[in-house]
Structure 1
């Protein structure tokens, strides 16, 4: 007799592989095996997951069209079924799947659009936090500012792209109007976060992506500035700090002393 774990594993395998027969023990009202009923259930599960992907990746769907999206999503669902009962987690690997999906190769920017949409979703559901105030930052002694490190808002997500991904995304969500895009004009780096009730999506200035990424990894202000300037000599430290504070990107800042860790946060 099969264990419960083996039966569940067999059920899940048959659910996403039409070549497998209905799991043993599944019967209809007459007490007889009912493969047709299981096929209907299998199809409903797959259709439901495709619908979840379509809801979470509306720009991708609009770009390729519903028919193409449904076919692509069906292959993804069958090859990468959910590993969690929480549908929010499903689709995290969709962008990487698109990058390797040969029929979508003519749209090289599509994976980055999917990454942006995934970042929006994650940001929307991220934890709340009180952003760092300009007053808290101003309290840091000027001669120590270079040693500052920061913790960032939990909703912060960064997207790097060699394509104008923000422009493409904006054209294909909400009331956006698709139009010609010069894919050779250069990439767009994007900051996604939810400092209050709404998710905000904004383009990042030259070197801004590398700067915030370095701070997010725990580098000091000085070291992050060096990383940003190496990435793009046009990087403007004061302008970036001002814009990031205004956007609510930082939650706390720290000074590492020999004696103790000093912290300036949003609360007094």
Structure 2
């Protein structure tokens, strides 16, 4: 109706004001400004607290490394500088690893950004959509030559975390009862996936990580293992035993398995 406010625009303005206290909702007048601003500040604070709590849940290994108070201060800075891109709190952390790398108070913890990256990938694996995996018997039907020329598609929960400098696998192991991690051990890689309702991970050697990276890019199986030097039999056996492969795609795309 003419003369009526646009409800969607009002909601957008209100949402913007929750994320930025410099913005006031459309329709705020001088006579109601103080009262409205006070009420909105309550909502704004709740939004910030909810985002911080969700981030603490998602970045558990970072919390263990720095303590909850430190993490909440870091998360508060992130929330204040990074508008939420989704109404789903489970999506609210994609930019945090990069934020941590540039967060001046964390400059003395140069490994923290890579640990945050692992945490985010573990978090996303948990919430990834379900997808069926193919059986290893598909390899028998396909034959070695056709399989070598084919590429594989992983189920959505599969991810790979790589650090060129820091022992991310040792840090994860330390937080599950293993011995203390030594930062001088060098860079490590971690394969991540979900089995039923639990997120799993295992360390990968450099060649295995290169092979997984190539497979994720869509390289042919033979090319991925030849260029990386990884043991194809060992790695492929683990991928299929964990049911991580969703499809095998031949070059002509006419005989997907």
Per the alignment, residue 201 of structure 2 pairs with: 201
Corresponding residue for residue 16 of structure 1: 19
Q: Does 1:243 align with 2:246?
A: no
1:142 paired residue number: 144
1:96-135 correspondence runs (5 A): 96-135=98-137
Deviation of 1:85 after TM superposition, in Å, equals: 1.0
Instruction: After TM superposition, give the deviation of residue 194 of structure 1 in Å.
Output: 1.6
**Cα deviations across residues 49-70 of structure 1 (Å, max 9, x unaligned)?**
1111111112211211122111
Change (3 A) 1:242 1:41: same
1:12, distance to aligned residue in structure 2 (A): 4.1
Asked if 1:192 corresponds to 2:192, the answer is: yes
- Report the RMSD for the aligned CA atoms in angstroms: 2.7
SS of equivalent to 1:207: helix
The one of 68, 75, 78 equivalent to 2:77 is 75
177 and 152 in structure 1: CA distance in 2 versus 1, 3 angstrom threshold: closer
Q: Matches of 1:255 and 1:113 in 2, distance apart?
A: 36
The aligned residue for residue 90 of structure 2 is 88
1:224 is matched with: 224
- 2:60 aligns with 58
- In structure 2, relative to structure 1, the CA distance for the partners of 1:217 and 1:136 (3 Å cut) is same
CA-to-aligned-CA distance 1:149-197 (integer Å, 9 cap, x gap): 111111111100121112213333xxx3586422121222111112433
Alignment of 1:39-58 (within 5 A): 39-58=41-60
Q: Scaled by the length of structure 1, what TM-score is found?
A: 0.82
Q: Find the aligned partners of 1:32 and 1:165 in 2 and give their Cα distance.
A: 50
Give the superposition deviation at 1:99: 0.8
Change (3 A) 1:145 1:22: closer
- Structure 2 partner of 1:232: none
Distance in 1 between residues matched to 2:216 and 2:183, nearest whole Å: 29
Structure 2: state its 5+ residue gaps. Answer: none
Matched-pair contact (CA < 8 Å) for 1:26–1:33 = no
From the superposition, tell whether residues 90 and 180 of structure 1 become closer, same or farther in structure 2 (CA, over 3 Å). Answer: same
Q: Aligned equivalents of 1:222 and 1:77: distance in 2?
A: 45
Counterpart for residue 181 of structure 1 = 181
Query: SS of 1:201's equivalent?
Result: strand
* 2:255 alignment counterpart: 262
Residue 16 of structure 2 contacts residue 23 of structure 2 at CA under 8 Å; is this kept in 1?
no
